[in-house]
A and B are shown apart, each in its own frame.
Chain A
Amino acid sequence: MERIIGIDLGTTNSCVSIVEGNTPIVIPSRGGVHTTPSVVAISQDNKRLVGQLAKRQAVTNPSNTIMAAKRLIGRRWSDPQLQSLLESRGFEAVEGHHGEVLIKINDRAYAMPEISSMVLLELKEIAEEYLGESISKAVITVPAYFNDRQRQATKEAGTLAGLEVMRMINEPTSAALAYGYGKDIDKVVAVYDLGGGTFDFSVLHISDGVFEVLSTVGDTQLGGEDFDDRLIMQWLVVEFAKEHRVDLRRDKMAMQRVRDAAEKAKCELSSVRSTEINLPFIISTAEGMTLHLQKVLTRNKLESLTEDLVDRTIEICRQGMKEAKVDIDEVILVGGMTRMPLVQERVKDFFKRSPRRDVHPDEVVSLGAALHAASLQKGGQDVLLLDVTPMSLGIMVAGGEFNPLIPKNTTIPTAKSHIFTTVRDAQTSVRILVLQGEHEDATKNDLLGEFTLSNIRPAPQGEVEFEVTFEIDADGVVSVSARNLETGVEQAITVTSRSGMSGEALEKMAAENAEHLVTLRSRERVLQLQQKIKRTLDTMDRIMPRVETLLANNGFAEEALIKAKEVIERSKLTIEGDHLESLERDSKALARTLNMFHNVIEKMKRK
């Protein structure tokens, strides 16, 4: 039978594994090392360099070298975080026709999946050389908090590299799989994965070879690279400018050397208390004088520069523990950054137990992928993953609200359906906007795709009904369909990486489509609104005393307060009945009032 490899496609380092006999092993690269840097370089004559070779020449060739492609894969040009990601990178990025990110090298534009596919191809070749046979199937890991678009793009990269991606599994899940495989345990395990570019935190229940994910949280923009950035932007560059009045940032080559040195220093400080950064001939001044960078960095300094990043990971862990609703038995640390003493210390303090030391932080993810590959071939007899979707999925309903159909942390594969109706009389088409995220306001979430059901019989509002069905397959990839319950006509999309937007563009589009949305059936809508108003009223009750004391002795506020109270009293009456329009009106009025209260509290706090 053809063998399936397991690949950890990392931000900084990638790793490929296979199961031999019953033992998962890492396949060493040609140089005998276990991990391959995820670096790609394109030479003047369009030849590719990948891995160690590409990394080595980065200093001399920064504008044609692409590092950390994973931070950009599946992102849109309109992504608010994008520009800060591109800053301090040597290469040139442009916007593609579909709003995607392209990288321009030697007058040719490369899409992000293409870049990642070069790394995958290298790993595939390493495996082929090692096994002496050709490989065409793989299990690839992705950060648990990757959204649908990033997953799709990763899959595309696999296809471009000539690999059939049998399954994409989440990195922390994969690590837990490698950790729990072959052990006869019944435990709740937390996985803290801080890598080069992403942070993931998952809680799993492992029992009898079943790995059930209880919760998954994370941040796809938090990793070792941010620690390096802190060192460079907030310390090295600043100090250098102070000393020599020269801005290092204007020289790409110098920045690349600084970046290398900063990372090296950071790693060294995990085992020693102070180290020296020494970069001779780093830059020359306008007068032609060459300058050297020579600095001593202590562990304390590094920690004070990056402490808040570590704290952010702990905050995310707290959220994850809350969602998992259980106590844990073990913590395992994954990812190179967890070698940093401060990280280990904070993790230990937060979980009140020492993390386990018997997992290899760089290799465990790919070992898990290989194990999963083997178990897919054997039919899940010895291990079974019950993974969850990290983000809620749903559609936009009238009023710009987000109506989640599949809540986050639902076990996949799964399917859910719900019935909606038209928003206005004689509506002849409906538009289904598919979104992913946690925000109540639909435009704050991420649009995955959209489609239209047309040729609807003109009828009074609420008469024609549609069943919208969401499905998430075992890879975490989403497909959506909508069916006109009157005619049985069905429309479906598999969400692709090309579509999608967020923020302003989405708002604009929502406004254009307001007439064509769907809404909940009126009975459900009434229930929903009643609950919502009740919730808001509860919050109001809680903060009312504070607002009152804050606004006392303020003649102008007196009036506002009286009006607010009127609204509250009226809403209390409205929720007793089920008149849809008054419910809608009061729900909006209440939301505005609550917002005002929050503003007041904020303002007073600042004073």
Chain B
Amino acid sequence: MWFDQASPDDLNYLAQYGVWGGVPAIPVCLPGLGRYGRYQFDRYLLLQKNDLTIAQRRELVFLADYFHKIDHFEFFELTADANERDIKKAFFRFSKRFHPDAVRELNLGPFAEHVRLVFEYGQQARDLLLDDQAFKDAYARVTKARDLAYHSKLQAERERQHQKVAEARSKGIKPPKSMRVGATPTPLPQNQRSQAEIDERKSLLRERLAQNQGRRQAHEQSKQSADLKSQAKTFFMAGEQAEARGQVSRALNHFKLCVEYMPKEQKYIEALKRIEAKVAEDRASKLWQEADSLYKSEDSIQKQAALDLFKEACALSPSERRLVAFTQYSLEFELVEDLIPILQKTQQKEPFNIEYMWLLCQCFELSKSLSDTQKYMEMILGLDPSEPRALRLKKRYRF
């Protein structure tokens, strides 16, 4: 037997981890797996189970094969000279296949337990391969002995054949073809092209490769942009649906994604603007409500907190009604610094609305900057010379 040549110490050592040195012809039921040894896993029995779907059955047969793998390297489809990186990569590949999460949707029922066992065994195997140099060394020695034994067996076989052939020849019999082994191979055809020719062909090849690559990139780009386009389109449709159902913030997200994918498409930009205004308005009205209820309380801290909310609402979506109310509250608290910029911005947007000018007049009056007050008063009178509030103001300050 081949393992006569391996050191018995090594064999004993490996046996403790379940590596018997590999006898590939006989499927072993995971020796040395300790408590997992209890789980018999018969491939043929599985095939006969009728209540499983084909996908499930395929998975289980695949699994069963794993239970018959007989050593740790084989388990990961690695060779004994694998380095740390190889082992890690192999373990990742293995986990993608056997992590309990990965097989969840296959719905393996009681067999899910087996998957877990295989995964746990894989973990142990990985730890052993990564951390245990003694194990690796022993494994390498034993496999070397196995390979040597295998080779010398082959060699002996071959020599016997040669002998037979020689014997037959000496007796003048032509040996059958099947017996002619180990004939000298025909030499590979010599390469007779000149160096220059080779270089030329190489450069030609390279050129073609580059062309191909360029084409592929162009193709991929166009595919990508087509992808983006169709993605954007689906998002747009979903967005419109959400809008119709009144799910404003969801629609907003969808439209945002549309614009992100197709930043130049006017339709999307408009939709986004529309929905943004709506969201702002929604949010403003909610803030406003909240603020209103806070403002009603008697506590001055709460009132001040309310003022912050009012401000936020106005900044989000200024409307005449809100600004009038907010100005009134602010005047009560004599806090107008935050208010003025908002008012000015709105006024610039609607330059013919007398109401905004009047609000500004009031604010500036409070903050004692009379020149600004006068400016807005004159603007009001320019639009409507008989505006009573402005006239009163004019009288009061004798502008």
A210 and B101 contacting across the interface, CB-CB below 8 Å: no
Q: Is the CB of A417 within 8 A of B301?
A: no
- Could you say which residues of chain B place their CB within 8 Å of the CB of A60? 299, 301-302
Interface string of A145-162 (1 = CB under 8 A from B): 000000000000000000
Residues of A within 8 A of B103 (CB): 379
List, in ascending order, chain B residues with CB within 8 A of A529's CB: none
Taking CB atoms, residues of chain A closer than 8 Å to B249 are: 27-28, 32, 130
In the complex the two chains form, what is the Cα distance from A207 to B247 in whole Å? 38
Collect the chain A residues with CB atoms within 8 Å of residue B242's CB: 132
Residues on B with C-beta less than 8 A from A80 are none
Q: Quick check: is A385 within 8 A (CB to CB) of the other chain?
A: yes
A330 at the interface (CB under 8 A from B): no
**Whole-angstrom CA separation of A381 from B89 in the bound complex:** 16
Interface residues in A487-541 by Cβ distance below 8 A to B read none
Establish whether residues B89 and A207, one from each chain, have CB atoms under 8 Å apart when the complex forms. Answer: yes
**Is residue B79 within 8 Å, beta carbon to beta carbon, of the partner chain?**
no
Segment of B115-123, B137-145, B183-191, B262-270 in the binding face: B115-123
Task: Report B276 CB to chain A, min CB distance, Å.
Answer: 10
Chain A, 445-487, CB within 8 A of any chain B CB: 467, 469, 474
Q: By the criterion CB–CB under 8 Å, are B305 and A207 in contact?
A: no
Contacts of B299 in A (CB 8 A): 60
Complex contact B95–A379 (CB within 8 A): no
Contact indicator B101/A23 (Cβ below 8 Å): no
Selected contact of B250 from candidates A30, A131, A208, A417, CB within 8 Å: A131
A386 close to B (CB within 8 Å):
yes
A25 touches B99 (CB 8 A): no
> A380-B101, A413-B100 are contacts. A30–B92 as well, Cβ < 8 Å?
no
* Interface residues in A, total, Cβ within 8 A: 41
Residues of B contacting A378 in the complex (Cβ-Cβ under 8 angstroms): 105
The answer to whether A411 has its CB under 8 Å from any CB of chain B is yes
Q: Please give, as numbers and ranges, the residues of chain A lying within 8 Å of B193 by CB-CB distance.
A: none
Chain A residues near B287 (CB-CB < 8 A): 31
Contact present for A379 and B104 (CB under 8 Å):
yes
**CA separation between A88 and B110, bound complex, in Å?**
52
Whether the pair A32, B279 counts as a contact (CB closer than 8 A) is yes
Q: Is the Cβ of A376 less than 8 Å from the Cβ of B302?
A: no
The distance from the CB of A426 to the nearest CB of chain B, in whole angstroms, is 29
Kindly list chain B residues whose C-beta atoms are within 8 Å of the C-beta of A469. 35
Q: Give CA–CA (A288, B136) in the complex, Å.
A: 82
Q: Which of A30, A210, A467 contacts B95 (CB 8 A)?
A: A210
User: Given the complex of chains A and B, what is the CA–CA distance between A112 and B96 in angstroms?
Assistant: 37
**Whole-angstrom distance between the Cβ of B254 and the nearest chain A Cβ:** 8
A415 adjacent to chain B (CB < 8 Å): yes
C-alpha spacing A474/B95, complex, angstroms? 13
Nearest B residue (CB) for A167: B101
Bitwise interface map of B from 159 to 192 toward A, beta carbon under 8 Å scored 1, else 0 = 0000000000000000000000000000000000
Bound-state Cα–Cα, A380 to B96, Å: 7
> CA–CA, A411 to B103, complex, Å?
18
**B100 contact from A25, A32, A53, A474, Cβ within 8 A:** A474
**Interface contact A21-B235, CB-CB below 8 Å:** yes
Question: Counting CB contacts under 8 A, is B234 at the interface?
Answer: yes
Specify which chain B residues have a CB less than 8 angstroms from the CB of A129 in the assembled complex: 247
Instruction: Provide the bound-state CA to CA distance between A512 and B254, in Å.
Output: 64
User: In chain B, what residue has the closest Cβ to A30?
Assistant: B286
Q: Cβ of A547 < 8 Å from any Cβ of B?
A: no
Query: Does any Cβ of B come within 8 Å of A377's Cβ?
Result: yes
Beta-carbon contacts under 8 Å, B232-253 to A: 234-235, 242, 245, 247, 249-250, 252-253
Given A59-B301, A413-B119: A31 and B283 within 8 A (CB)?
yes
B391 to chain A, nearest CB (A): 40
Q: Quick one: closest B residue to A131, CB to CB?
A: B250
Q: Which of A56, A130, A385 contacts B101 (CB 8 A)?
A: A385
Chain B residues, Cβ within 8 Å of A474: 100-101
CA distance A417 to B124 in the complex (A): 13
**A209 adjacent to chain B (CB < 8 Å):** yes
Contact of A380 with B99 at beta-carbon distance under 8 Å, contacts A20-B253, A31-B286 already known = yes
* Contact count band on B: 35 or more
Q: Is the CB of B250 within 8 A of A384?
A: no
Q: Counting CB contacts under 8 A, is B257 at the interface?
A: yes
Q: Which residues of B (1-41) have their CB < 8 Å from a CB of A?
A: 34-35
Residues of A405-444 whose CB lies within 8 A of B: 411, 413-415, 417
CB distance from A416 to the nearest CB of B (A): 9
A548 CA / B229 CA spacing, docked (Å) = 80
A266 interfacial contact with B, CB 8 Å: no
Chain B stretch 70-111: residues in CB contact (< 8 A) with chain A: 88-89, 92-93, 95-96, 99-106
Q: Are A386 and B99 in contact (CB under 8 A)?
A: yes
- Give min CB distance, A522 to chain B, whole Å: 20
The residue among A27, A378, A411 with the most chain B CB atoms within 10 A of its own CB is A411
How far in angstroms is the closest Cβ of chain A from B127? Answer: 9
- Complex Cα distance A386/B99, Å? 8
Enumerate chain A residues within 8 angstroms of B100, measured Cβ to Cβ.
413, 474
Chain A residues near B120 (CB, 8 Å)? 413-415
Q: For the complex, is B225 an interface residue (Cβ under 8 Å from A)? A: no
Taking CB atoms, residues of chain B closer than 8 Å to A415 are: 116, 120
Residue of A nearest to B245 (CB): A132
Contact present for B102 and A379 (CB under 8 Å): yes
| CB atoms of B104 and A130 under 8 A apart | no
B231 within 8 A of A: yes
Asked if A413 contacts B104 (CB within 8 A), the reply is no
- Complex CA distance for A356 and B119, rounded to whole angstroms: 34
Residues of A within 8 A of B116 (CB): 413, 415
For residue B51, give the distance in angstroms from its CB to the closest CB of chain A.
21
Query: What residues on A are CB-neighbors of B279 within 8 Å?
Result: 32
- B301 touching A384 by the CB < 8 A rule? no
> Is A76 located at the chain interface by the 8 A CB criterion?
no
A212 contacts partner chain B, Cβ-Cβ < 8 Å: yes
In the assembled complex, A137 has its CB within 8 A of some CB on chain B = no
Cβ-based interface call for A205 (8 A): yes
Contacting pair B250 A130 (CB below 8 A): yes
> What separation, in Å, do the CA atoms of A376 and B103 have in the docked complex?
10
Given known pairs A59-B301, A60-B301, the reply for A386 and B95 (CB within 8 Å) is yes
Interface membership of chain A positions 23-55, coded 1 if the CB is closer than 8 angstroms to chain B and 0 otherwise = 101011011100000000000000000000100
Contact indicator B283/A417 (Cβ below 8 Å)? no
Cβ contacts under 8 Å, A130 to chain B: 247, 249-250
Q: Assess whether A21 is in contact with B95, with CB atoms less than 8 Å apart.
A: no
Q: Once bound together, how far apart are the Cα atoms of A123 and B105, in whole Å?
A: 27
CA distance A474 to B119 in the complex (A): 12
Asked if B101 and A21 sit within 8 Å, CB to CB, the answer is no
Q: Could you list 13 A-B pairs, sorted by A, with CB under 8 Å?
A: A53-B290, A56-B294, A59-B301, A60-B301, A207-B89, A212-B88, A378-B105, A379-B102, A379-B106, A384-B99, A413-B120, A415-B116, A417-B35
B-side residues, CB < 8 A to A, are 34-35, 88-89, 92-93, 95-96, 99-106, 116, 119-120, 123, 231, 234-235, 242, 245, 247, 249-250, 252-254, 257, 279, 282-283, 286-287, 290, 294, 299, 301-302, 305
Could you list 14 further interchain pairs (A-B, Cβ under 8 angstroms) beyond the known A28-B249, A32-B279?
A: A23-B257, A31-B283, A32-B249, A59-B301, A131-B247, A131-B250, A208-B89, A210-B92, A379-B106, A384-B95, A384-B96, A384-B101, A413-B116, A467-B35
| A-B CB proximity, top 5 nearest | A379-B105, A380-B102, A210-B92, A380-B101, A28-B249
